[in-house]
Chains A and B, each alone.
Chain A
Amino acid sequence: MSNKLIDLVGITKSFDGELVLDDLNLYIRENEFLTLLGPSGCGKTTTLRILGGFENPDKGSVIFNGENITQLPPNKRQLNTVFQKYALFTHMTIAENIAFGLKIKKKSKAYIDDKIKYALKLVNLQGYENRMPDSLSGGQQQRIAIARAIVNEPKVLLLDEPLGALDLKLRQDMQYELIRLKNELGITFIYVTHDQEEALTMSDTIVVMNQGYIQQIGTPEDIYNEPQNAFVADFIGDSNIINGTMLEDRLVEILGAKFPCVDEGFGRNKPVDVVIRPEDIDLLKPEEGTIQGVVTHLIFKGVHYEMEVMANGYEWLVHSTDLFPVGTQVGLHVDPFDIQIMNKPESEDEEAVSIDE
């Protein structure tokens, strides 16, 4: 996980005059599991297609292993893609599907047979050689698509929402399968999803995108605990995002109440966005809280209760394992290090983003 394997430099792409990617810069290290995360239409697939060679960027270059491959056609690239739709060759058997790339490379029959066996074992579908794609379930088809890609021993595997069409249980199983696969193969994964949980579970690095811009790059922990702007905070899990004023270092005023926090260097009386995760809010007796409110909604979510608490004119989203019935007077308390302070967006683009959300 040290040297840059892929470098996207200043990638700009528009379709029919509409800007889809604007000056995107991103590098991917060897053996990394990198996830592009963002809402529908934000340009994830387009980024992946530029990497795979299916689209040419209007500006910018794709550097692979120090070599500029921007103009290289897909069949000459050492990257393989697993497509959003399974894209299996329907008139070929599973074995023929997997052998497709190897036959082009003129590998020997024995080598190909070995590889088919190996790949089917890897994706847990031994004995499926002679089945037709139509006769397989969605999850099985997707695993075959992965097998078909990895037998070519790519340096990088590009996966475009490979689990998007699967049901929740299968999706979770496949997430573990993919992580296992990646560890066994030791190759770089670039993964696209709009499911934040999936991104948090699987990735080494998450790239949060919106409207063609990268909002934040970081480890799952970074992204979750220290979102850099309101968009990221809102997109990654449920959050309370509240207007506040940084009174001084380590003290922020939210909705008229003063909360001690750990952030410094914002200056005095500076307007900021404050992010507080619902599970970081402690509900106490009214007199023990920093501010007081009343529970207005209550839903049982399995592992916890989800409540909404009206306090100082704001509906606070709170997760707690303790039950506070609707109508209960409560006090809200937040530990200083659970308060995340963010600068208000400065550029117009970022502005557009936060207004949209």
Chain B
Amino acid sequence: MIRNFFRKFYLFFIFVLLYAPILTLIVYSFNASKTRAKWGGFSLKWYSSLFENKAILQALSNTLLIALLSALIATVIGTMASVALNSMKSKTRTFWMSMTNIPMLNAEIVTGISLMMLFIAVGNFLSLFGGSITFGFMTILIGHITFNLPYVILSVMPKLKQVNMSTYEAALDIGASPIYAFFKVILPDIMPGVLSGFLLAFTLSLDDFIITHFVKGPGVDTLSTKIYSEVRKGIKPEMYALSTLVFITVLLLLLIVNYKPKQKNNAKV
């Protein structure tokens, strides 16, 4: 009995530690009073003033657009890369798999700075021919595609390995072209992996701060960089509301990523 109680208490304690900060944030986002010192009653006013803030809304739309586009593009490229990886001999595959995994282990700040350097270098090179690179939407997008790619590959590869390749050959055998066979036979089988790769990429892009911080230009912001610059000026309760919304969105997306493929598998078994 007592052991059982302690077990439960311990679990509870851990979760308190994990979630206390974010809970505080969420609670304060509903605080009618402007100061953190006292509870002024429940209110949604920070949420409504948040949605009247043009700059924030612009950052929100940037964030969503970049998350969507970068996840889409990374999913397409990543899936194609997985197919190529999967058809390699096992030694070559192991090598290229580790090559794609390294950027994931790399500190984000390193990835961010190196991307920035790369854009500057390419910009310098282009300037020889009268071209240029402006830091802004495009550079953020490219940066996000880059760091999303390994995650897509990571979630598509296991599915692809499970695919019974003789179904693909069977499709070719009865007249399908390789591309048709891929879309009709392989893709439906790896779809759970592709979808979770997409959602993972979307989520990562949505809440990325460090890389975005380095590759964004002046005046172009995503939510996370916007929050950061607002907070530097002084913390406004709107930011609590915004952070709450970001947290809940990411939480929901993660729940979907983690549960959706599993349910599918269970249904099959």
Contact = CB atoms under 8 A, between A and B. Distances in A.
Interface stretch (A36-44, A79-87, A172-180, A232-240): A79-87
B163 to A, nearest CB: 10
A325 B73 CA distance: 79
Nearest to A88: B167
Given A89-B185, A91-B189, A75 B172 contact: yes
A149 interface: yes
Contacts of B188: 91
Contacts of A100: 171, 174, 176, 184
B175 A101 contact: yes
A54 B172 CA distance: 9
A110 interface: no
A83 B170 CA distance: 8
Given A85-B164, A87-B164, A149 B180 contact: no
B contact patch SS: helix
Contacts of B172: 53-54, 73-75
7 contacts: A54-B172, A80-B173, A85-B166, A88-B167, A89-B171, A100-B174, A148-B174
Contact of A83 (B169, B184, B189): B169
Interface in A76-106: 80-81, 83-85, 87-91, 100-101, 104-105
Contacts of B189: 90-91
**Which are the 7 A-B pairs with shortest beta-carbon distances?**
A101-B174, A87-B166, A87-B170, A74-B172, A104-B175, A83-B166, A91-B188
A52 interface: yes
Contacts of B184: 89, 100
A54 B169 contact: yes
A152 B174 contact: yes
A258 to B, nearest CB: 56
B169 A87 contact: yes
Contacts of A134: 268
B185 A149 contact: no
B177 interface: yes
Given A100-B174, A105-B175, 19 more contacts: A53-B172, A54-B169, A75-B172, A75-B175, A75-B177, A81-B170, A83-B166, A83-B169, A83-B170, A87-B164, A87-B167, A88-B167, A90-B167, A91-B188, A91-B189, A100-B171, A101-B176, A134-B268, A148-B174
B254 to A, nearest CB: 27
A152 B166 CA distance: 18
Interface string A324-335: 000000000000
A149 B173 contact: yes
A123 to B, nearest CB: 16
Interface of B: 164, 166-167, 169-178, 180, 184-185, 188-189, 268
A81 B169 CA distance: 9
Nearest to B188: A91
A80 B185 CA distance: 17
A151 to B, nearest CB: 9
Contacts of A74: 169, 172-173
A91 B267 CA distance: 13
A144 to B, nearest CB: 11
Given A89-B167, A91-B188, A81 B180 contact: no
Taking each of B169, B180, B188, which has the highest tally of chain A beta carbons within 10 Å of its own beta carbon? B169
Contacts of B171: 89, 100
A164 to B, nearest CB: 13
Interface in A115-168: 134, 145, 148-149, 152
B7 to A, nearest CB: 41
A81 B166 CA distance: 10
A235 B249 CA distance: 67
A104 B180 contact: yes
Contacts of B166: 83-85, 87
A161 to B, nearest CB: 12
B29 to A, nearest CB: 44
Contact of A152 (B175, B177, B185): B175
A95 to B, nearest CB: 15
B203 to A, nearest CB: 27
Contacts of A91: 188-189
Taking each of A73, A87, A105, A145, which has the highest tally of chain B beta carbons within 10 Å of its own beta carbon? A87
Contact of A149 (B164, B167, B174, B268): B174
Contacts of B164: 85, 87
Taking each of B170, B188, B268, which has the highest tally of chain A beta carbons within 10 Å of its own beta carbon? B170
Interface in A214-240: none
Nearest to A145: B170
B71 to A, nearest CB: 24
